[in-house]
Amino acid sequence: MRIVKSTVAVGLSILVYLLAGMDGLPFFIIIAALQGMQQYQRNVKEVAVRNVFGTLVGAACALVILMLQSFVLGSDNSQYVWYCVFVTLGVAVSLYSAVVLGHGDAAYFTAVVYLCIVMVHLDKRSPFLYVAQRLLETLLGIGIGMGVNALRIPRRRVRDTLFVAALDDVLHSESSILPEYSKVELNRILDDGVRLSIISQHSSASFWEAAGSIRFKMPVILLDGAVLYDPAEKRYLAKVQLEYEQAREITELLEDEELSIFQSAVVDDSVMIFNKHIAESTREIHEHMRRSNYRNYIYRALPEGLPVIYVLCIGTEEKLDEACRKLDGAGFDKKYKVMRYGHEQKGMGYMRIFSREASRHAMLEKLRETCGMEKLRTFGNDPRLYDVCVRASEGESILKALKKEAEPFFWKKQK
């Protein structure tokens, strides 16, 4: 839509320019209109103020240079070198003026307007009239850009329903980064007041890495239903934990395997990851994870009595298969919730062990209670788990399905 709106803004700018009977080329009005095309509607006013300020300051600086050219240097070609020197110095003046006047973010646009005006030959035109016309064109372009950017197909916003989307089905893999398009669309939906949450197998650290720029206002469900996390407050509102003895039992059973075993515990709303040994086969993966700003590793045994959210095992697929057989043999598969995940590095994988009570369905009910919402609609790729099944593997988009229900066209009947 930004491409479509940009094209419309350019065409409208040219039309206004021609109808107004302005002289020259509609360069200024087009550039100003394109500057108004923003990803988020809430940024348009801020950008417009910045551009208007930059236009006024840039035009004022340009007027000084044009007056110098017209009344001091004249049209003598031998003076052109001096004119270029003054133009160059004027760039510094225009940039510095924007900063001194408290609008450093407008410095770039100030310099653009300044250079566009001064890099012309006035001939016998009045510098005052010329700058006034360029100023008018730029301000008209800013207005056109704001107007076109604000145009939207009328939609209803459903605000009496809590929508929950499976983030993993948007990402498609454990290690993916949320695509920029998805971030923009999710933020736009949230800015419009739609009540949206997500459910994911990701930890809070992976969540922040993948979707940290998303402006979630509702709590989110992470770790396959083990925790309910509030990203706005950075607090854990609910968690289903393994008792200390359970975590120790699991760790002791697997410590002879060639695996890196981590125990993640929430202490004062911060996740602490305890570990005593890093397997050589997982060192590269661990070094990558260790550099994350969202993970806090403590290389010692889990403090006695401290419950954990889950036990994480990282290793080769072969060693994880052996670990699973060992867990099954001890009856742990019926006692705990064991989840396997692949890794982008060939032959490697993850295994998380949760409390048997950790459940997406149960945490969805907790989410509904926390948000005070009666209606709930879930979106994912499994018809057994979600109200709306989206087959991402077949090219279907969970975002399109979400927008269809959360922001229906005004002529569509509400379900």
Q: Do residues 228 and 366 share a domain?
A: yes
Token pair in block for residue 203: 């930890």
Q: Find how far residue 207's CA is from the centre of its chain.
A: 12
Sequence-distant (≥ 6) Cβ neighbours of residue 285 within 8 angstroms: 314, 343, 345, 348
Q: Give one DSSP letter per residue of 15-76, joined into a string.
A: HHHHHTT-SS-THHHHHHHHHT--SSGGGHHHHHHHHHHHHHHHHHHHHHHHHHIIIIITT-
CATH of the domain at 369: 3.40.50.1000
DSSP string for 88-122 = HHHHHHHHHHHHHTT-GGGHHHHHHHHHHHHSS--
pLDDT digits (tens, 9 = 90+) for 188-221: 888 888 899 999 888 988 888 878 788 899 999 9
**Does residue 287 form part of some domain?**
yes
Comparing CA positions, the residue from 106, 116, 118, 136 lying closest to residue 23 is 136
If we measure between CA atoms, which residue out of 167, 113, 164, 114 comes closest to residue 141? 113
CB 122 within 8 A of CB 70: yes
User: Quick one: 321 and 371 in the same domain?
Assistant: no
Let me know if residue 20 belongs to a domain.
yes
The edge-to-edge listing of strands for the beta sheet with 336-342 is: 296-298, 270-274, 260-267, 310-316, 348-355, 336-342
Contact 379, 166 (CB under 8 A): yes
> From CA 275, how far away is CA 353, in angstroms rounded?
15
How many structural domains are present in the chain?
Answer: 3
Judge whether residue 91 has pLDDT over 80.
yes
Same domain (yes/no): 96, 205: no
pLDDT over 50 (residue 222)? yes
The rounded radius of gyration (Å) of the Cα atoms in the chain is 30
351 and 369 fall within a common domain:
no
User: How far is it, in rounded angstroms, from Cα 358 to Cα 72?
Assistant: 80
CA–CA distance, 139 with 48 (Å, rounded to integer): 9
pLDDT on residue 174: 43
* Same domain as 138, residue 11: yes
- Residue 306 exposed, middle or buried by CB count within 10 Å (0-12, 13-18, 19+): middle
Same-domain check for residues 258 and 343: yes
DSSP code string of 204-262: HHHHHHHHTTS---S-EEEGGGTEEEETTTTEEEEE--B-HHHHHHHHHHHTTSS-EEE
pLDDT (0 to 100) of residue 43: 67
Residue type, 373: M
Predicted confidence (pLDDT) per residue in 292-309, tens digit = 888 999 999 999 999 999
Residue 142 pLDDT > 80: yes
Do 83 and 119 lie in one domain? The reply is yes
Tell me: do 51 and 144 sit in the same domain: yes
Q: Is the pLDDT of residue 392 over 80?
A: no
- Is the domain of 114 the same as that of 196? no
156 belongs to a structural domain: no
The answer to whether residue 155 is domain-embedded is no
Q: How far is CA 224 from the centre of its chain?
A: 22
- Distance separating alpha carbons of residues 105 and 50, to the nearest angstrom: 7
- Specify whether 82 is located in the same domain as 99: yes
Question: Could you report the per-residue pLDDT of 231-245, keeping only the tens digit for each?
Answer: 989 999 999 999 999
Higher pLDDT, 415 or 266: 266
CA 134/CA 222 separation, integer angstroms = 54
Supply the pLDDT for residue 393: 62
- Rounded to whole angstroms, how far apart are CA atoms 85 and 150? 42
CATH code: domain of residue 306: 3.30.1240.10
Q: Which of 33-47, 170-184, 270-284 has the lowest mean pLDDT?
A: 170-184
Q: Over 50: is that where the pLDDT of 173 sits?
A: no
Q: Where are the beta strands (DSSP E) in 347-386?
A: 348-355, 375-380
What domain range includes position 280? 244-355
Cβ-based neighbours of 241, under 8 Å, separated by 6 or more:
226, 266, 307, 308, 309, 355
Within-domain flag for 411: no
Residue 140: inside a domain: yes
The mean per-residue pLDDT over the stretch 400-412 comes to 80
What's the pTM value of the predicted model, to 2 decimals?
A: 0.74
* C-alpha torsion angle, residues 399, 404, 406, 409 (rounded to 10): 140
26-30, 70-74, 128-132, 285-289: segment of lowest average pLDDT: 70-74
Paired sense of beta strands 270-274 and 296-298, if any: parallel
Contact criterion met (CB below 8 Å) for 64 and 90? yes
Residue at 414 is within a domain: no
The answer to whether residue 302 is domain-embedded is yes
Alpha carbon distance 35, 113 (integer Å):
12
Residue that terminates a domain, selected from 336, 355, 374: 355
Q: What is the pLDDT of residue 413?
A: 62
Let me know whether 47 and 23 are in one domain.
yes
68 has a pLDDT exceeding 70: yes
- Concatenate the DSSP letters of all residues of 387-408 into one string: SEE--GGGT--HHHHHHHHHS-
Task: Answer with the one of 96, 119, 150 that is the final residue of a domain.
Answer: 150
Q: Are residues 217 and 257 in the same domain?
A: no
DSSP state of 281: G
Residue after which a domain boundary falls, among 338, 355, 372: 355
Tokens of 398: 């969970």
If pLDDT is split at 50, 70 and 90, which confidence band does 175 have? very low
